[in-house]
Amino acid sequence: MIPARVIVAESLKSVAAKVATQIALLKKHNERDKMKSTKITAVPTHIITGFLGVGKTSAILQLLTNKPSNERWAILVNEFGEIGVDGSFFSGQYTEKQGVFIREVPGGCMCCAAGVPMQIALNQLLLQAKPDRLLIEPTGLGHPKEIIKALSAKHYKEALSLQKTVTLVDARNVNNTRYTSHDIFNQQIAIADIVIGNKVDLYQDEDKTRLIDYVKVHGQANADVVFAQQGNIKLSILAGPTTLSLPAASPHRPTKEVMTADLTIPECGFIKAINTGASFNSVGWRFTEEKTFNYAKLKGFFSDVNAERIKAVFITELGVFSYNFTADGLTETALNFTKESRIEIISKQLDDTVEAQLMACIN
Ligand SMILES: [Zn+2]
């Protein structure tokens, strides 16, 4: 069992290496100077956000079917996985000859994990496409507010004209705390000028009203709610500047988990960190050595928990154990020592009852 902090350190190393390479590239090509000389200005830019699986890609495909043939459109697709898929999906259907220019930014959220690659990809895309319109699809697990801030930065102020921000929501999820307790889900609604209740053909009668009511509470005061089937939205409803005003971003900082891993655990005896890095959400806790876990209860915890992957080291009354939970089951290994108990749960959806279940395992 590799300690969680080693894994974090390794992934940070690889992120650092990628960033260093990209910075070198950025300097080499001197994209910023080129951009100044080509004077790309006020490109209408649409940010199309929404949770995993809500239909962002379909919505962009629908918009593309209405692209005037004489216009050049650029599409920037951001993906959480290291190997991007959506870019190939679009390029499989549209070519640059048809005036559709695609760039893919895999490897995590475009505001942080993939921040520098995003800048490079966007600059290159603008230079190459000289687009009449830019569509940006952030990953469903990106940081919506930070992404808007990044695109409002001084560097893009002249080049991009941020249009109404669109958030696609499956209204059936508004009835599901796995979504409504998720900060990113709520942030996506909070930043929207237009909320699109997608997959309306699959709704029950009350789903529409529930979404409208949810947006009244969590959305911007003037946010519109419209409904669509299979992402079929009209470009005309997206036109016009966004009414959202966020302070422009400062250059991105190291990821949050670095700090959490280094922090002193507060007096309550534990510290929690949510991480939207890698290809899934993850949630983790560190516990001081004074907290002893009940060995039998931990076994119960692992058999009940709903997650794709769990890595943990626990101090129990029977000694120290590491746990590795995968689709193939749970592996337990006795350890000689650990400084503190740690657990990281990787899941498509964070279960908000996990913390209580975990705390119930403490002796
Ligand atoms: Zn981010």
In a domain, 327, yes or no: yes
pLDDT score at 324: 78
Q: Are residues 233 and 272 in the same domain?
A: no
**CA 177–ligand 1 middle distance (angstroms):** 23
Answer for the pair 137, 75: CB distance below 8 angstroms, yes or no. yes
**CA 191–ligand 1 middle distance (angstroms):** 15
Last residue of a domain, one of 208, 238, 268: 238
Q: How confident is the model at residue 182 (pLDDT cuts 50, 70, 90)?
A: confident
Q: Are residues 271 and 338 in the same domain?
A: yes
pLDDT score at 186: 93
Above 70 in pLDDT, residue 105?
yes
SS3 334: strand
Above 90 in pLDDT, residue 266?
no
Q: Are residues 90 and 164 in the same domain?
A: yes
**CA 65–ligand 1 middle distance (angstroms):** 30
**CA 159–ligand 1 middle distance (angstroms):** 22
d(CA 295, CA 362): 9
In a domain, 176, yes or no: yes
Q: Are residues 283 and 228 in the same domain?
A: no
pLDDT score at 188: 94
Q: What's the mean per-residue pLDDT of the chain?
A: 82
**CA 118–ligand 1 middle distance (angstroms):** 11
Q: How confident is the model at residue 307 (pLDDT cuts 50, 70, 90)?
A: confident
**CA 203–ligand 1 middle distance (angstroms):** 31
In a domain, 30, yes or no: no
SS3 335: strand
Q: Are residues 169 and 226 in the same domain?
A: yes
**CA 187–ligand 1 middle distance (angstroms):** 12
Provide the token pair at 345.
Answer: 């749960």
**CA 189–ligand 1 middle distance (angstroms):** 16
pLDDT score at 128: 94
**CA 212–ligand 1 middle distance (angstroms):** 27
Which residues constitute the domain of residue 304? 256-359
- What's the CATH code of the domain at 137? 3.40.50.300
Quick one: which of 222, 215, 112 has its CA closest to 167?
Answer: 215
Q: pLDDT digits over 320-345, tens only?
A: 888 878 666 788 888 777 788 888 78
Burial grade of 210 (CB within 10 A; 0-12, 13-18, 19 or more)? middle
Last residue of a domain, one of 190, 210, 238: 238
In a domain, 260, yes or no: yes
pLDDT score at 256: 37
Give 56's Cβ-side CA count (13 Å radius): 26
**CA 138–ligand 1 middle distance (angstroms):** 10
Q: Are residues 261 and 346 in the same domain?
A: yes
**CA 103–ligand 1 middle distance (angstroms):** 18
Last residue of a domain, one of 184, 205, 238: 238
**CA 339–ligand 1 middle distance (angstroms):** 30
In a domain, 297, yes or no: yes
Q: Are residues 84 and 191 in the same domain?
A: yes
d(CA 120, CA 45): 17
**CA 300–ligand 1 middle distance (angstroms):** 34
d(CA 211, CA 219): 10
pLDDT score at 267: 80
Q: pLDDT digits over 351-361, tens only?
A: 778 888 999 99
Q: How confident is the model at residue 228 (pLDDT cuts 50, 70, 90)?
A: very high
Q: Are residues 263 and 234 in the same domain?
A: no
Q: Are residues 230 and 300 in the same domain?
A: no
**CA 143–ligand 1 middle distance (angstroms):** 5
Q: Are residues 344 and 210 in the same domain?
A: no
**CA 312–ligand 1 middle distance (angstroms):** 25
d(CA 116, CA 348): 25
**CA 153–ligand 1 middle distance (angstroms):** 15
Q: How confident is the model at residue 127 (pLDDT cuts 50, 70, 90)?
A: very high
**CA 318–ligand 1 middle distance (angstroms):** 40
In a domain, 179, yes or no: yes
Radius of gyration of the chain (CA): 22
309 has which bridge partners?
A: 346
In a domain, 174, yes or no: yes
Number of compact structural domains in the chain: 2
Q: Are residues 201 and 57 in the same domain?
A: yes
For 172, which DSSP code? G
**CA 45–ligand 1 middle distance (angstroms):** 19
Answer for the pair 114, 139: CB distance below 8 angstroms, yes or no. no
Q: pLDDT digits over 17-70, tens only?
A: 776 777 666 666 665 555 555 688 999 999 999 987 788 888 998 999 999 999
**CA 4–ligand 1 middle distance (angstroms):** 21
- What's the CATH code of the domain at 335? 3.30.1220
pLDDT score at 38: 62
Stated pTM of the model: 0.62
Q: Are residues 149 and 272 in the same domain?
A: no
Q: pLDDT digits over 199-219, tens only?
A: 999 999 899 999 999 999 999
d(CA 363, CA 324): 22
pLDDT score at 190: 94
